[in-house]
């Protein structure tokens, strides 16, 4: 895994072989952060990284100067790996070991960016969208980004803005319903 931008640009991070993850490709991650760079200021964001796995998305935000990042994953090895890398790089990332759906049901905070990278075979990926909007977790100008495989279709969900495809990696972007102009 490689950090593609910011203070730690180019830093290679060796992943343990026993992590149950499918990290986003560097190509797709670079494209995603190019999109975000054109529309947001990384310094003052409240970021939520769901199904964080290796934490590569959290690390990208932190490398770009963001210091308000919450990462959520239920896998102990993934959580410990991200804690170790965060400590090594002296990054402040709030790392929670819990089920993402339980977290979304109980959370009362607002986030500027919510990024979700669930397993592509998750039965109902749209449940993430439902809980984020039901719990009103996005700030006024917030953005929900759900990474998914090519077979998953999310374009009919409320707040849908755009779909970006990078090989087998797809990003669906959603804005709060008050920001959607039809």
Adjacent-strand bridge partners of 163:
172
For 44-70, write each residue's pLDDT tens digit: 899 999 999 999 999 999 999 898 999
How much is the pLDDT for 67? 86
Mean residue pLDDT of the chain comes to 91
* Predicted local confidence at residue 20, as pLDDT: 75
What are 166's strand-pairing partners? Answer: 169
Give the β-pairing of 47-50 and 160-166. unpaired
Residue 81 sits at φ, ψ, to 5 deg, of -65, -50
pLDDT 10s digits, 18-32? 877 777 788 899 999
Query: Is residue 177 pLDDT above 80, yes or no?
Result: no
Q: Is the confidence at residue 170, as pLDDT, over 80?
A: yes
Mean pLDDT score, 94-115: 96
Average pLDDT of the segment spanning 69-81: 95
Higher-confidence residue: 124 or 144?
Answer: 144
Does pLDDT of 154 surpass 90?
yes
Q: If we measure between CA atoms, which residue out of 24, 66, 23, 29 comes closest to residue 44?
A: 66
- pLDDT at residue 80, rounded to an integer: 95
pLDDT of residue 178: 66
Give the pLDDT score at 19.
Answer: 79
* Beta carbons within 8 Å of 101's beta carbon, 6+ residues apart: 127, 131
CATH number given to 6-179: 3.40.50.150
pLDDT of the residue at 182? 46
- Domain extents in the chain: 6-179
Q: Would you tell me how many other CB atoms lie within 10 Å of the CB of residue 65?
A: 13
Residue in 105, 87, 29 with CA at minimum distance from that of residue 61: 29
Predicted pLDDT at 44: 85
């Amino acid at each position: 895994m490689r950090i593609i931008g910011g203070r730690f640009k180019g830093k290679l991070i060796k992943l343990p072989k026993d992590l149950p993850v499918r990290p986003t490709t560097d190509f797709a991650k670079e494209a995603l952060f190019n999109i975000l760079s054109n529309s947001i200021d990384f310094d003052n964001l409240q970021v939520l990284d769901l199904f964080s796995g290796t934490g590569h998305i959290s690390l990208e935000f932190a490398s770009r100067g963001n210091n308000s990042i919450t990462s959520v994953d239920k896998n102990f090895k993934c959580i410990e790996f991200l804690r170790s890398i965060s400590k090594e790089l002296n990054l402040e990332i709030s790392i929670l070991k819990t089920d993402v759906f339980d977290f979304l049901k109980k959370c009362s905070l607002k986030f500027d960016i919510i990024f979700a990278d669930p397993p592509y075979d998750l039965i109902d990926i749209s449940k993430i969208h439902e809980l984020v909007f039901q719990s009103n977790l996005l700030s006024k100008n917030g953005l929900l980004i759900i990474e998914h495989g090519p077979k998953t279709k999310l374009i009919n969900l409320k707040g849908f803005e755009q779909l970006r495809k990078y090989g087998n990696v797809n990003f669906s972007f959603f804005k709060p319903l008050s920001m959607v102009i039809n």
